[in-house]
A = this chain, B = another copy of it.
Amino acid sequence: MKERVTIVDVARRAGVSVSTVSNYLNGRMNLIKDKTRNRIKQAIEELNYRPNPVARQLKTGSAPFIGLVVPSVANPFYGTFAHHVEVEAAKRGFHVLLGNCCRDPEREREFAEELVAYGVRGIVFGSSLADISYLSDLAKEGLCLVTFDRSLTNSEHVQFDGVGVDNRQGVYIATRHLLGLGHRRIAFVSGSIRTVNRLDRLTGYEQALRDAGVEEDPSLIWQGETVEGFGDFNAIQLGKQAAYQLLTRSERPTGIVTVNDMFALGVYAGAKELGVSIPQDLSVVGFDDIELAEIVEPPLTTVRQPIPLLASKAVELLLNRLEGKEVREGQYYMFPPELIVRRSTAEPKY
């Protein structure tokens, strides 16, 4: 375990002062003669010196890290998103601190506070709990927040930026797609609706039915029970459960709109066990367009979210603000959702 090489060692070896080395390290080359610069460069190489970022941070107060809060990377949608966020952040020299917070407000707050303590000044918030007032204090202290997949209320616009697709519109066109095929008994399947994006999606479903003059049937809105701290581990199981309950009723739905693809896959599993064929006996529409949507049988009709685009915009917004390049407040980039029609939807038989 070697002793750590410090800036003092470099200075000594190069025969200059520490401040000159510091200037060198921070790219203030205009202040340094060519000859000195070379000496420093050489000293650094000879000693294999690497600046201590912790000391730097103690002095400057901030670190090249951003936080990323998601429900759980066990859901491939968030896993993919997290990967893209990491890549985009890396392009600008930032690292990502990931928190799977399972939609638990307590964990989200704790995680955010811890990040702040570590000098993190920006967080991408990929969890969209309805009430994020607990973040306001942090925002007031200068923490930058970019929400992901979460439309903002007016008061929030002041504090946060955001990116996302138009969830309401996405489910609206998904539902209209089923309506257009002739479906009338259309169910909506979701986990506990405590998040803004889910609420938006439900709204889109209701709106589409209303616009089509289809009578509302609250029993067709299936909402999984809340399981605290469980992330998205159970989405598939919940979807399966939903299928069981909805497909064993007397008047069963001919179409199901799900809140995301994982639920749709769960519905697939349930329908299969019940001997209900998709799309002959039941049409299913998902949301997200995770990679698997294309390869399940039948390929899933779903609403696509442009994950790489969303990730890069989120990181861009966040880092621009951190670096002071962005001063307008409360921007929300709403991307248009796109319905990808595959073979899980068809005309209803009856």
Q: Which residues of A contact B (CB under 8 A)?
A: 1-2, 50-55, 57-58, 63, 72-76, 78-80, 82-83, 86-87, 95-100, 113-114, 117-119, 140-142, 231, 233, 236, 240, 265-266, 268-269, 272, 291-292, 294-297
Residue of B at shortest CB range from A119?
B54
Interface contact B295-A265, CB-CB below 8 Å: yes
Query: Contacts A53-B117, A54-B57, A74-B79: A95 and B97 contacting too (C-beta < 8 A)?
Result: yes
Cβ of A258 to closest chain B Cβ, rounded Å = 14
Q: Please indicate the chain B residues that have their CB under 8 angstroms from the CB of A97 in the complex.
A: 95, 97
A236 vs B240: C-alpha distance in the bound complex, in angstroms? 24
Query: Contacts A291-B236, A297-B272: A82 and B86 contacting too (C-beta < 8 A)?
Result: no
Interface contact A118-B72, CB-CB below 8 Å: no
Instruction: Give the oligomeric copy count.
Output: 2
Residue of B at shortest CB range from A101?
B86
Residue of B at shortest CB range from A235?
B291
A119 vs B119: C-alpha distance in the bound complex, in angstroms? 15
Cβ of A148 to closest chain B Cβ, rounded Å = 16
- Identify A79's interface contact among B1, B76, B99, CB under 8 A: B76
Query: Contacts A231-B83, A297-B297: A74 and B74 contacting too (C-beta < 8 A)?
Result: no
A53 vs B115: C-alpha distance in the bound complex, in angstroms? 10
Interface contact B98-A96, CB-CB below 8 Å: yes
Interface contact B86-A79, CB-CB below 8 Å: no
Cβ of A52 to closest chain B Cβ, rounded Å = 7
- Identify A74's interface contact among B54, B83, B142, B266, CB under 8 A: B83
Known: A1-B140, A76-B79, A79-B79. 14 other contacts (CB 8 A): A1-B142, A50-B113, A50-B117, A51-B117, A54-B57, A78-B79, A82-B100, A86-B100, A87-B100, A240-B295, A265-B295, A268-B295, A268-B297, A269-B294
A311 vs B113: C-alpha distance in the bound complex, in angstroms? 26
- 30 pairs across A/B with beta carbons < 8 Å? A1-B140, A1-B141, A2-B141, A50-B117, A54-B57, A54-B58, A55-B58, A58-B58, A73-B79, A73-B83, A74-B76, A74-B79, A75-B79, A76-B76, A82-B100, A83-B231, A86-B100, A87-B100, A95-B97, A95-B114, A98-B98, A236-B295, A265-B295, A266-B295, A268-B295, A268-B297, A272-B297, A292-B292, A296-B296, A296-B297
Q: Please indicate the chain B residues that have their CB under 8 angstroms from the CB of A63 in the complex.
A: 54
